[in-house]
Amino acid sequence: MADGYQAPKGTYDLLPPDSPLALMVRTAMIAAARSGGYEYIETPVFEDTGLFARGVGESTDVVTKEMYTFDDRGGRSVTLRPEGTAPAVRSVIEHGLARGQLPVKLYYSGPFFRYERPQAGRYRHFWQVGAEAVGTEDPAVDAELIVLAADAYRTLGLTRVRLLLNSLGCRECRPAYRAALQDYLRGVELDPETRRRVEENPLRVLDDKRPHIQALLADAPLVTDHLCAACKAFHEEVRRLLTDTGVEFTDDPRLVRGLDYYTRTLFEFVHTGLGAQSAIGGGGRYDGLSELIGGPSLPGVGWALGVDRTVLAVRAENIAAPEHARVAVFAVPLGEDARRTAFLLITRLRRAGVSADLAYGQRGLKGAMKAADRSGAHYALIIGERDLATGVAQLKDLTTGDQEPVELDRLVATVKEKLQ
C-alpha cells in the first residue's frame, strides 16, 4: 500500500481468525480474577502525567523513555497510561473505596501504551488484564493473586510457564540493601550510563540483561540476605501458601521489575517457548504507592498479565481457540420477495437467541451457498419463490446435506429444537 495508511509502528491489528485466541486469553484471565471476588473497574486511557511520574518512579525507563505524553488543548500534560496500578490506586483514593470493607479487590482489562523498541512480543500498544487488592498487608492476598494468575495460565492449557519469586523488602530494610548493592557496584567497572544508574536506582542494574553485566553481578549482595525479620516472615508465609496449593515457583533473588513502587513480594511469570520477551505477566506488593501519589497509607498488591504475549505462548504450545461457528443459520433467499421474508426470519431467529446471517447482495444460488458454507453455519435456510407460495423454507443441514421443508411459522421453534 504505497499511498495508504498502515497501523502505526509497534502496533498491530487483531483480526479474525486470530482474534478469538486473544478473546480466549482475556476471558481466562478475567475469569480467574472474578473467581477470587475481584470486581471490574475501568479508568481513563489517559491520566495526569504526574500520576505516572510520581507513582511509577521518575528514574524508571517507563517514565523517562517510554511514555506517550502530550499537552492537551487546555495546556494540561497528560499521558497515555503505560500501566494500570497507579490509575487503579488513584481511583481507590479519589472515591474513598478503602473506607469500606478491605481489601478492595478490583480487576481491569484494556490497552496500555509504551514507546518501546518494537520486536516480537513487545509493542507500543498492548493489552493487559490486571488485578489489584488494596488495603491489606495479609501475605495470603499476595499468595491468592499469584495462585489466580497461575490458574489462568493453567486453564488456558499452558504447561511451559515458570513462576519467579522474590521479596524486595520494605522501607525499613531496603535502604540497607540498596546501600550494600551500591557499594558493590561502585567497585566494579561499568560504563557511564550504568554508573549513573548505580547512583539513581541501583536495583535496576540487576535487570540489565547484557551478559558482561550479568557476569559482574555474580557476587553482588542478594536482597533476600538483607530482609528484616518482618519481611522474612512475610515472604516465608507467601512461599508456604504457594507450596500448600501446589503452585511451583523458583526463588530468584535477582528479580526486579521496571516499576519503582514494589515492596516485599515480587513475582514474574515467564514462558519458556518465547524468545527475548518471555515475561507473560507479573506483579507484586506496593505498600508505598498510595502515599507516593498523595493518598493515605494504604498497602496493596496486584498483577498485570500480558495478553499479547500470552497469545504468543498459547500459539507456541499449539493450543487452539475452541471451534465456534460465526453464525448458526445462514439464509439464502432467491428473489426479491424471498429476501424480505429472509430478512424477517433471521431477525426473528436472532431475537430468539439464534445467531443468523443472510447472503446480502445480488448473488446466484451457487455464490450464496458458498457464502453459507464459509460462514460455518449449521444450517442454510433456502427460500425460493415456490417455497414462499406454500409458506415454507428449506432447512439444509450443512454437515449432513439433509434438507427438509419447514413451515415459516414454525421456523424459530424448529431451529431451536434442532440446535439443542
Q: Enumerate binding residues for ligand AMP (CB under 6 A).
A: 83, 114, 116, 122-123, 126, 128, 257-258, 279-282, 304, 306, 308-309
Please state the closest distance from residue 162 (CB atom) to ligand AMP, in A. Answer: 13
Q: Is 245 helix (H, G, I), strand (E, B) or coil?
A: coil
CA dist., res. 99 & res. 226, Å (int) = 34
Q: How is residue 210 annotated by DSSP?
A: -
Least CB distance to ligand AMP at residue 253 (A): 19
Smallest distance, ligand AMP to C-beta of residue 62, A: 7
Least separation, in Å, of the C-beta of 288 and ligand AMP? 17
| CB closer to ligand AMP, 85 vs 375 | 85
Minimum CB–partner distance for residue 127 and ligand AMP (Å) = 8
Q: Which residue is nearest to ligand AMP (CB)?
A: 306
Q: How far is the CB of 39 from ligand AMP (least distance, A)?
A: 21
How close are the terminal C-alpha atoms of the chain, in Å?
47
Least separation in angstroms between residue 130's CB and ligand AMP is 8
* For ligand AMP, the closer CB: 258 or 288: 258
Give me 179's grid cell: 546501600
CB 135 within 8 A of CB 141: no
Question: Distances from the Cα of 143 to the Cαs of 90, 236, 251, 281, 340, in angstroms?
Answer: 24, 11, 14, 15, 59
Nearer to ligand AMP, 55 or 333 (CB): 55
Closest approach of Cβ 270 to ligand AMP, in Å? Answer: 8
- Between residues 107 and 330, which has the closer beta carbon with respect to ligand AMP? 107
155 in Cβ contact with 315 (< 8 Å): no
Q: Which is nearer to ligand AMP, 235 or 271 (CB)?
A: 271
- Give CA separation, 133 vs 25, 170, 263, 380, 400, in Å: 22, 18, 14, 50, 52
Residue in the block written with cell 540489565: 208
Strands (E), 157-218: 161-167
Q: Which is nearer to ligand AMP, 2 or 7 (CB)?
A: 7
Q: Rounded CA gap, 305 and 153, in Å?
A: 10
Measured from the CB atom, is 161 or 398 closer to ligand AMP?
161
- Check whether the bond before 17 is cis (ω within 30° of 0): yes
Which C-beta is closer to ligand AMP: that of 203 or that of 304?
304
Q: Grid coordinates 421443508 are at which residue?
A: 405
Q: Distance between CA 190 and CA 195 in Å, rounded?
A: 6
Task: Give, in order, the Cα–Cα distances in Å from 278 to each of 24, 156, 306.
Answer: 20, 17, 10
